[in-house]
Amino acid sequence: MGTCSERQSRGTKIIATLGPASSTVDTIAALHQAGADVFRLNFSHGAHEDHAARLAAIRQVEHQAGRPIGVLLDLQGPKLRVWSFADGQAELVAGQRFAFDRNPEPGNHERVCLPHPEIFSAVSPGDQLLVDDGRLRFRVVSVTPDVIEAEVVAGGLISDRKGVNVPDAALAVSALSIKDRRDLEFGLELGVDWVALSFVQRPEDVLEVRELIGGRAKLMAKIEKPLAVQNLEAIIEVADAIMVARGDLGVELPPEEVPSIQKRIVRLCREAGKPVVVATQMLESMIKAPAPTRAEASDVATAVYDGVDAVMLSAESAAGHYPVEAVSMMQRIIHHTEGDPLQRQLMQAVTTRHQANSTDAIGAAIHSVAGVLPVGATITYTTSGATAFRVAHERPASPILSLTPNRTVARQLALLWGVTSYATEDAKNVEDMVEKASAAAKNTGYYQPGRPLIVVAGIPFGTPGSTNLLRVVWPE
């Protein structure tokens, strides 16, 4: 176990995406040293062997660091794309007519093949079609089973295989493509800890994938579709965590609506006691520049003030010129923001709803004890991770040290606000648990003379979801 550090003194976690700029053991070690708690494998890019090599490198860094590192597999999701053009591209101007059809012939400035029958059956006149992340915009004029006639609202160059967004219609399409199913099984065999599901529309999408995962990993639902925003509370209920995926969300919804939707998602997750991640373009300018804009620094800080569990870097760490600097900058912003007394006030303005069970009662009791005693740390003994999840949602003022006999659970907990997790032997009895907790606090630097520890666990040991014990310990 390592000693207490700036990483352990912050609550908000950092997720860093790996890619061409960050695939070597040395770079991954540097990213971890700079503050990355979880690494994201983005299956929209790269071959299986690339991701397998990155995961092996992560595990090597984990072994060297002596602390669990979480790995998040991000599925591409069903990508809707136009087909090809005879000249590779075509110039479209606002006001002209343009057809999307089922004809596989190469396209031109009047038409292109759209090989997705589910779009033809879902859209209606007046609906929008967006191409190339919304750079080109169309309004549907008429629809038949084989042709969508549209008017160009915002023109420009349209080229081969550009993505299509359909913000106004609910598509009868599974959240998992054939590629996603292959990627999911491959990632689970590799041993990823979290799976992020793209383009969720409804809670049934999450339940479908949860069945395939079969308890081998935790499941995170990405909110990036207008329909997902409409079904938000039902999706939060069935997911293990939520990602505010502002990329596609900002394409399919007006940009001015995204900040308030982000606030709503974070608040609902905090109330429901579900981890929440804010992602996309957080330090975007650091893809090419050694420092972020002031607006980007403020964006990261806003998420920290709201009490999110984690903030995420995408291209900044995967393909940018300054991957380690981006992680380091994010850690500095988090550390400074969490040092502001106002941050805790704002974060505590939203509290988790308590249910009438022993786990929630223990979680509420932690606040009461910490209000009376100068608690040095809260130590959770957990088999499934449920105890640590619950304590983290209380956002206690003291650090959280989670001990679990399950290495996968320890890695999953790396995503949670304020939790430092370690895999350890299960306790034989309460006294053994107290001894192990005290030793762990001293080994990790959490022990402070004169400050008691709160030890939380479930009796009998090894029974998932049975949090029913809170012990105040004064280490000798």
d(CA 376, CA 396): 11
Yes or no: say if 397 and 344 are a contact pair by the CB < 8 Å rule: yes
d(CA 91, CA 320): 30
> In the structure encoding, which two tokens stand for residue 389, read together?
């999840």
pLDDT at 3: 43
Q: What is the CATH number of domain 89-165?
A: 2.40.33.10
Question: What is each CA distance from 177 to 116, 190, 225, 444, in whole angstroms?
Answer: 13, 20, 17, 44
pLDDT at 442: 86
Indicate the Cα dihedral angle 63, 68, 69, 74, nearest 10°.
Answer: 120
Q: Which residues pair with 130 in a beta bridge?
A: 137, 165
* H/E segment holding residue 142: strand 136-143
Indicate the Cα dihedral angle 282, 287, 288, 289, nearest 10°.
Answer: 40
Yes or no: say if 64 and 202 are a contact pair by the CB < 8 Å rule: no
Yes or no: say if 373 and 384 are a contact pair by the CB < 8 Å rule: no
pLDDT at 2: 43
Q: Where are the domains of the chain?
A: 6-77+174-340, 89-165, 358-473
Report the candidate in 78, 70, 141 with the shortest Cα–Cα distance to residue 411: 70
Superfamily of domain covering 358-473:
Pyruvate kinase, C-terminal domain (3.40.1380.20)
Q: Which long-range contacts (CB under 8 A, 24 or more apart) does 261-267 make?
A: 261/229, 263/306, 264/232, 265/223, 265/229, 265/232, 266/303, 266/306, 266/307, 266/308, 266/350, 267/306, 267/350
The pTM assigned to this predicted structure is 0.93
Point out the residues that are catalytic: 40, 81, 222, 280
d(CA 164, CA 80): 5
* H/E segment holding residue 140: strand 136-143
| DSSP state at residue 7 | H
Look up the CATH architecture of domain 6-77+174-340: Alpha-Beta Barrel (3.20)
pLDDT at 465: 63
pLDDT at 430: 84
pLDDT tens for each residue of the chain, 476 residues long:
444 456 667 999 999 999 999 999 999 999 999 999 999 999 999 999 999 999 999 999 999 999 999 999 999 998 899 999 999 999 999 999 999 999 999 999 999 999 999 999 999 999 999 999 899 999 999 999 999 999 999 999 999 999 999 999 888 888 899 999 999 999 999 999 999 999 999 999 999 999 999 999 999 999 999 999 999 999 999 999 999 999 889 999 999 999 999 999 999 999 999 999 999 999 999 999 999 999 999 999 999 999 999 999 999 999 999 999 999 999 999 999 999 999 999 998 887 777 777 777 887 788 788 878 899 899 998 889 988 998 999 999 888 999 999 999 999 999 999 999 998 887 788 888 888 888 888 888 888 888 999 999 877 776 666 678 899 988 77
Yes or no: say if 81 and 164 are a contact pair by the CB < 8 Å rule: yes
* H/E segment holding residue 472: strand 467-473
Report the candidate in 216, 185, 221 with the shortest Cα–Cα distance to residue 200: 221
Which residues, 6+ apart, have CB-to-CB distance to 174 below 8 Å?
A: 78, 205, 208
Residue 84 sits at the vertex; the CA angle it makes with 78 and 85, to the nearest 5 degrees, is: 150
On the CB side of 366, how many CA atoms lie within 13 Å of its CA?
A: 31
